Structure 1
């Protein structure tokens, strides 16, 4: 019985220590990071829109040829 109790105590203690260490060493969020991510998102959105427009145009051309 002592072995199980010791295991769970160690598991809980290790979890708490891991959480504290993770909280201490986690990089802080900076405004520059947010701006960079927003810029990347806008570029990806623009690129996706261009690809979608090309696909739509290609499908429309194929449909016109079928008629």
Structure 2
């Protein structure tokens, strides 16, 4: 395996469906402009509650990508 250099960025994904949906949406959107995404790390999870029901998920995600 060759040596590589990686960079990471922090983004926030949201979903009305699930935590997983928030992560997948964040990764998919970032992949539109960021090349070589290799890993993610969930750094925080938040949500909105309305009438004792979770109505929205918000997930902070760190994405790592290899520099060319």
TM-score by length of 2: 0.26
Higher strand share: 2
Q: Which has the higher contact order (CA 8 A, sep 6+)?
A: 2
Larger radius of gyration: 1
